Amino acid sequence: MTGADSKNAKKHRESEGTFRPRETSRSEFSPMRSMGDVKRVLESLFERKHPEWLETAESPDPGKWPVSVSLKPPSEKEAAANFPKVKEWISHWNSLKPEFGALKSAEVRWRHMGTQIIPGAVEIPNPETVALWTSKSEAWSEARKRHAKAVSVFPELKGIFSRFKFELFELDSADFSRLMGVVSWLKANPNPNLYPRELPIEGVDGKWMDSRKKSVAALASEVLKVDAGGKNFRESLGIKTPPFLARLRPLDPKLRAAFGGWGDLTVPLDDLKNFEPLPRPRAVVIVENLQTGLSMKDLPETVLFTGLGNGAVSLGAVPWVKDLKCLYWGDLDTHGFAILSRVRERIPGLKSILMDFETLMSHKSLWGTENSPHKGAEPTNLTPGELKLYSELKNGRWGKNIRLEQERIAWDAAWPIIEKEFENPV
């Protein structure tokens, strides 16, 4: 190695280390790196660094290139003990093609084996060479084109593109064009209050928007300065979502007349907010399971809501609902109690039914397993008895992740208890 080469190697140190012949006193055999090993090192480097490289692709930072990857060359003792393998390894690296970087070898003087020329490192001059090693040349080229287009259309992205990683490059060319079109249009037309299929962009509809949510959210969050990556993805972009639909059953013949004679309806929540049934119901039952809701028989002056899951919280926005006697029957598990708590926050007078210790204990043979128990904060709107049962279920008092699903409770046992609640519905 010349003096200039030695100086250059010191200048371009990489985390993999520059080539230094090891002492012969080492007893273990060194893991000399093959081309496959170097490829894996560069794959990891590419994954971590490619967004940063995109920012400087036109003029790479001379302080960061070339990158030197150590080949972990052998010591004299290792070479003597494994000479055929070391000889093959040297030949292997001497065949490296120039487009894959510069092989840095050094002349070493060993006590017993004399002077040898040993490969010590590969110097990678630029990101294109890393992409070549990792079989990502095509992807890298496309990424550069998309980066150039994105910062041209959205100058505010310049200098912060590294936040995206490859989120914007996993799309095919047509979808990338649609993505750019969607965000450009939303930037020019903020809060349009339109459904996705109404956007004047070819190929964009609700299915496209939801299936490309990650990419749309990543770009829109930076360009539009909104939190598009949260739960309210469409709302944050000013795009309409389908209305929340509530399925309800008037369980009294007189109430069915107030609902146009229908006994089973699915109604947009906003319509329910503005609707005042006459005669007015005196009670509401909310059941989590649809089949349970469909099994309910008539009850005096009562409306049933069923199959809403977490959406039951929305019923608190219906004025005539939250003023009535309200019963809630959900699964006897941690999520069932978490939903009950959230609904009760909106409907303070809500009473649970068949979600108690006695019901749980009397159906041991029907217990199942809650695959993923509630992980959020402890519910704050439960009665002392409900909270105790929630905690005991979560802490595994009777076994790990115990649950009793609503539909497992025998109907001839459940229905009399429900009927009894309505002997005096006020």
DSSP annotation of 390 reads H
Angle at the Cα of 79 from the Cα atoms of 76 and 83, rounded to 5 degrees: 150
Q: Which residues neighbour 34 within 8 Å (Cβ) at sequence distance 6 or greater?
A: 89, 92
CATH no., domain 245-421? 3.40.1360
Task: Give the span between the Cα atoms of 19 and 13, in whole angstroms.
Answer: 10
Q: How many residues does the chain have?
A: 426
| Cis bond before residue 300 (omega within 30° of 0) | no
Task: Give the span between the Cα atoms of 346 and 352, in whole angstroms.
Answer: 14
Each of the 426 residues of the chain gets a pLDDT tens digit; together they read: 334 444 443 333 333 333 333 333 333 445 899 999 999 999 999 988 888 888 887 777 778 899 999 999 988 888 888 888 988 999 999 999 999 999 999 888 888 888 888 999 999 999 999 999 999 999 889 888 888 888 899 998 887 776 766 566 778 889 999 999 999 999 999 999 999 889 898 899 989 988 888 889 888 988 998 888 777 888 889 998 888 899 999 999 999 998 889 999 999 998 999 888 888 899 999 999 999 999 999 999 999 999 998 889 999 999 999 889 999 999 999 999 999 999 999 999 999 999 999 999 999 999 999 999 999 899 999 999 999 999 999 999 999 999 999 999 999 999 999 999 887 644
Residue spans per domain, the chain: 3-133, 137-236, 245-421
Q: Identify the pLDDT of residue 166.
A: 56
351-352 and 402-403 as β-strands: parallel, antiparallel, unpaired? unpaired
